[in-house]
Amino acid sequence: MRLKEFESDITFHIEKQEAELASRVNISAFQGDLYHLKELIRGGAHPNKTDYDGRSPLHLAASRGYENIALFLIKLDGVDINIPDKFGNTPLFEAIKNGHDRVASLLTKHGASLDIDDGGNCLCLAVAKGDSDFLKRLLSNGVDPNSRDYDHRTPLHIAAAEGLYLMASNPFNSDQKKLT
């Protein structure tokens, strides 16, 4: 009986140490502390460990626009560049959502893909908010401009209903995709 308790205590403490280490890795990535992040990774921390919302250090670096940290993490063996968090967001989506085009380009260059389950909802919400920059970034990263939301509306439906002529007519320059 005592042996089982001892094993249980050891397992608990190991799991606690691993969770604390993962937390420190994510905090370093969030704060942009490349030096500390490198030390933690060299010390045995795994770069794919996630926080309570399933965000990896790469999610956090991409969402904050830390190109140097994103590049460091991408080059590590075993890092999942397309790892989704609990909400289905990938590091590439985080970079696009927060307007970090250089990080988004870096992620794409290294094989990241934008796979949004609800692309229509995402586009329609961007149009409804009048966020043409986010809309442009989504469309330029391959989201289908004719994707539909839960009510089967396209972004063009939303733009027309809200009187957003410029978003409906051409959110891009003439050589890029239009909402149709």
Asked, for residue 75, whether it belongs to a domain, the answer is: yes
Quote the pLDDT of residue 98.
95
Same domain, 123 and 102: no
SS3 content of the chain, % helix, strand, coil (to 5): 60, 0, 40
Asked, for residue 174, whether it belongs to a domain, the answer is: no
Within 13 Å and on the Cβ side, how many CA atoms surround 122? 24
Quote the pLDDT of residue 178.
47
Same domain, 11 and 61: yes
Same domain, 22 and 97: yes
Cα 145–147–128 angle (5° rounding)?
75
**How many whole angstroms separate alpha carbon 147 and alpha carbon 17?**
44
pLDDT in tens, the chain (180 residues): 788 887 888 888 878 878 788 889 999 999 999 999 999 999 888 899 898 899 999 999 999 999 999 999 999 988 999 999 999 999 999 999 999 999 999 999 999 988 887 888 999 999 999 898 999 999 988 889 899 989 999 999 998 888 887 777 765 443 334 455
**How many whole angstroms separate alpha carbon 92 and alpha carbon 100?**
9
Among 87, 109, 131, which residue terminates a domain? 109
**How many whole angstroms separate alpha carbon 95 and alpha carbon 117?**
17
Cβ atoms of residues 59 and 85 within 8 Å: yes
Cβ atoms of residues 82 and 48 within 8 Å: no
Same domain, 44 and 10: yes
Same domain, 144 and 101: no
Residue 150's domain comprises 119-169
Asked, for residue 178, whether it belongs to a domain, the answer is: no
Same domain, 127 and 97: no
The per-residue b/e assignment along 35-64, b for 16 or more CB within 10 angstroms, e otherwise, is eebeebbeeebbbeebbeeebbbbbbbbbb
Residue 153: how many other CB atoms lie within 10 Å: 18
Quote the pLDDT of residue 63.
96
**Domains: count for the chain:** 2
Cβ atoms of residues 159 and 131 within 8 Å: no
